[in-house]
């Protein structure tokens, strides 16, 4: 049985015990104020003072954000558009139809579903619809960026699938197609899952589709991170290149509310996928989120090309600037990256955990990350650091600012400058980047 370790449970329980003790002395209204104050402090710090380089995060437009607090946030609309359990859903049907049609237009596909409260739920839907317990699924191992969604400890494993690794070339930072062919012929997968949390370059999808066809497998891309890049024409067109299903997170590069989208072309899959969504995985699926998503999709139709192109340009500029300052940046021989992500090996500076903590002291937010040359057991103390340029790009930063950001990182990690001093400079620098761009506001 898979379980959380006792030491992890203890960390959380300690924090809860402290909070519970503090709460015991407060009247309910004071407790309410405590909640408001905590949210305000985060907004001030993370929202106004930090350089946020977390690859899975993005800023929504002010319009999309406002919609999350709209009247719709109190409505329920389970079921299918035009076929609901509750009466009174006239405008909800209208809104959801707008959202689906905007998604189809943006991704140029035949079918889309918007009822996924997260990307992970979308991935669960794929396993429910396309696999049976006992089937073999091939997916990328975690050090290569493989996500729990497609591994033993997540939805794929919970479905009862057996997992075989998609072979990965850690130098080229892409799938080893010949090795994949050999493994697929031997394990005969029901499903080949691509997509990862660390993606620098496109996948050889057409070649992999040929292998999937040969062994009779579905090909599925978990494009959680790249969904926005695809919408903006900056990453491969997964469905066009042969994937049967594409899932993604709507709050990553797509820059909408947090949630998921699932997209496909083949009418024969529609019934199974929709059944897996409802009644399979979602009932009240957050209609305020759907409204914010619909607006974000319209923004991507208008601004996506320019916005996503600048994200990739910024990632390449940041990677180059860090490399020039002596960092060990992955993919250097291939131009570093074709996505919003930059990956560095920071083992010689104490590893990803240590470096991310030091940078956060200086108001630079990043995350520790396994690298393909790490072992899965190193998950908590990996060698890598992952950076993403989605948020800084939407705030208006360009290549020149990436040089400045690289300087800040260099000062903290290599020079060993006091975090307090760098924090002041970072906060002052961030002062002039406060407006969300690539939208109509």
Quote the least distance from Cβ 251 to ligand PLP, whole Å.
Answer: 6
Q: Give the whole-angstrom CA distance, residue 36 versus residue 26.
A: 14
Q: Is position 118 an interface residue for ligand PLP (rule: CB under 6 A)?
A: yes
* From 77, 119, 143, 228, residue interacting with ligand PLP (rule: CB under 6 A): 119
State the nearest-atom distance from the C-beta of 116 to ligand PLP, in Å. Answer: 8
Does residue 253 bind ligand PLP (CB under 6 A)? no
The stretch near ligand PLP (CB under 6 A) out of 171-179, 218-226, 322-330, 395-403 is 218-226
Task: Kindly state whether residue 147 participates in binding ligand PLP, applying the rule CB under 6 A.
Answer: yes
Task: Check residue 226 for interaction with ligand PLP (CB under 6 A).
Answer: no
Strand partners, 322: none
Q: Judged by CB under 6 A, does residue 225 bind ligand PLP?
A: yes
224 part of the interface to ligand PLP, by CB under 6 A? yes
Applying CB under 6 A, does 388 fall inside the site for ligand PLP? Answer: no
Restricting to residues 177-216, which ones interact with ligand PLP according to CB under 6 A? 195-197
56 binds ligand PLP, rule: CB under 6 A: yes
Could you tell me if residue 396 is left (phi over 0), alpha (psi between -120 and 50 degrees) or otherwise beta?
left
Total number of residues binding ligand PLP (CB under 6 A)? 15
Which parts of 120-139 interact with ligand PLP (CB under 6 A)? 120, 123
Q: How far is the CB of 419 from ligand PLP (least distance, A)?
A: 28
The separation between CA 432 and the C-alpha centre of its own chain, rounded to angstroms, equals: 27
Identify the residue whose tokens are 């389970």: 78
Q: Nearer Cβ to ligand PLP, position 77 or 119? A: 119
Nearer CB in complex with ligand PLP: 123/310: 123
249 near ligand PLP (CB under 6 A): yes
Instruction: Tell me if 114 contacts ligand PLP by CB under 6 A.
Output: no
If one asks whether residue 265 binds ligand PLP (CB under 6 A), the answer comes out as: no
Residues of the shown chain interacting with ligand PLP in the complex, contacts defined by CB under 6 A: 56, 118-120, 123, 147, 149, 195-197, 222, 224-225, 249, 260
């Amino acid at each position: 049985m898979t379980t959380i370790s006792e030491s992890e449970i203890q960390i959380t329980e300690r924090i809860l015990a402290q909070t519970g003790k503090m709460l015991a002395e407060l009247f309910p209204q004071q407790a309410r104020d405590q909640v408001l104050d905590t949210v305000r402090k985060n907004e001030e710090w993370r929202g106004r003072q930090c350089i946020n380089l977390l690859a899975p995060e993005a800023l929504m437009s002010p319009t999309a954000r406002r919609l999350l607090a709209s009247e719709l946030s109190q409505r329920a609309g389970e079921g299918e558009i035009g076929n609901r359990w509750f009466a009174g859903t006239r405008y909800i049907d209208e809104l959801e139809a707008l959202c689906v049609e905007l998604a189809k237009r943006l991704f140029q596909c035949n079918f889309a579903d918007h009822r996924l409260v997260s990307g992970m739920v979308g991935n669960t839907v794929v396993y429910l619809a396309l696999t049976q317990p006992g089937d073999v699924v091939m997916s990328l191992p975690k050090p290569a960026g493989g996500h729990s969604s497609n591994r033993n400890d997540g939805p794929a494993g919970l479905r009862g699938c057996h997992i075989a690794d998609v072979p990965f070339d850690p130098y080229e930072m892409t799938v080893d197609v010949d090795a994949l062919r050999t493994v697929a012929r031997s394990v005969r997968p029901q499903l080949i899952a691509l997509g990862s949390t660390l993606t620098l370059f496109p996948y050889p999808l057409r070649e992999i589709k040929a292998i999937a066809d040969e062994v009779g497998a579905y090909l599925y891309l978990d494009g959680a991170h790249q969904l926005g890049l695809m919408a903006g024409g900056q990453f491969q067109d997964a469905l066009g290149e042969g994937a049967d299903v594409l899932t993604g997170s709507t709050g990553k590069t797509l820059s909408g509310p947090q949630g998921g989208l699932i997209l496909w072309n083949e009418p024969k899959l529609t019934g199974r996928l929709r059944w897996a969504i409802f009644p399979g995985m979602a009932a009240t699926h957050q209609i305020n989120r759907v409204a914010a998503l619909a607006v974000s999709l319209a923004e991507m139709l208008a601004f996506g090309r320019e916005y996503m192109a600048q994200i990739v340009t910024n990632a390449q500029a940041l990677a180059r600037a860090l490399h020039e300052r002596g960092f060990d940046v992955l993919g250097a021989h291939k131009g570093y990256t074709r996505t919003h992500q930059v990956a560095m090996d920071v083992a010689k500076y104490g590893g990803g955990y240590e470096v991310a903590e030091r940078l956060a002291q200086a108001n630079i937010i990043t995350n520790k990350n396994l690298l393909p040359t790490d072992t899965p057991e190193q998950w908590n103390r990996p060698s890598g650091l992952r950076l993403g340029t989605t948020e800084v790009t939407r705030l208006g930063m360009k290549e020149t600012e990436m040089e400045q950001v690289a300087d800040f990182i260099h000062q903290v990690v290599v020079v060993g400058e006091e975090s307090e001093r760098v924090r002041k400079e970072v906060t002052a620098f961030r002062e002039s980047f406060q407006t969300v761009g690539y939208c109509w506001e």
